[in-house]
Homo-oligomer: A and B are copies of this chain.
Amino acid sequence: MENERKKPLTAATEVEVHFYDIDAVQIVWHGHYVKYLENAREAFGIKYGLEYTEIYRQGYIVPVADLHIRYLNTVTLGERLTIAIEYVPANAAKLVFNYRITGQTDGRQVAEATTVQLFMSKDGVFETSTPEFFRRWKKRWKQ
């Protein structure tokens, strides 16, 4: 019930594959996808007022605690990718996102991913309860 009323919060960004992203076997090195996910989080942050700079201004950093990427197809030089991101509502004091990366030319699925971020105060202590500013943010976006 509760979940049904929530409108999904989504954003998307694009990335072009450059020569320096390609590895010795001519495909995008799998580690670079982590950057693509971060690009998507940045786009999400700008769209919904949750930029790193804003979070930092509120006294927190949000280190990634869990990263899971499932690679479905390889990618080569010159391709353009779309990275779609969706906020996953969670009751605990964390930020969860799902991602879907697709190739723009043929629309094939390139990868799926999930990240979990925790709230840490600037002096390095993990926050176990939801920070007040994030509570307000969730309320504002009905999450």
Comparing A3-11, A57-65, A80-88, A127-135, the segment that makes contact with chain B is: A57-65
CA A71 – CA B29 in complex, angstroms? Answer: 21
Let me know if A71 and B66 touch, CB within 8 A: yes
Name A74's closest neighbour in chain B (CB-CB). B63
Asked if B31 and A35 make an inter-chain contact with CB atoms under 8 angstroms apart, the answer reads yes
- Cβ contact of A53, chosen from B20, B52, B77, cutoff 8 A: B77
Are A19 and B38 interface neighbours, CB within 8 A? yes
A67 near B69: Cβ-Cβ < 8 Å:
yes
For this complex, into which size category does the number of interface residues on chain A fall? 35 or more
> How many angstroms from the CA of A25 to the CA of B34 in the assembled complex?
17
Main secondary structure of the interface of A (DSSP, over half): mixed
Interface residues of A (CB under 8 A from B): 18-20, 22-27, 29-31, 34-35, 38-39, 42, 51-53, 56, 61, 63-71, 74, 77-78, 120, 124
- A–B pairs, 13, beta carbons within 8 Å: A18-B35, A18-B42, A19-B24, A19-B42, A20-B29, A23-B23, A25-B56, A27-B63, A31-B31, A34-B34, A66-B71, A67-B68, A74-B124
Take A19-B52, A30-B34 as given contacts and tell me if A24 and B71 are in contact as well, using a CB distance cutoff of 8 Å: no
Whether the Cβ atoms of A22 and B20 lie closer than 8 Å is: no
Q: Known pairs A20-B38, A64-B71; list 7 more (Cβ under 8 Å).
A: A18-B38, A20-B23, A22-B24, A24-B77, A30-B63, A31-B31, A63-B71
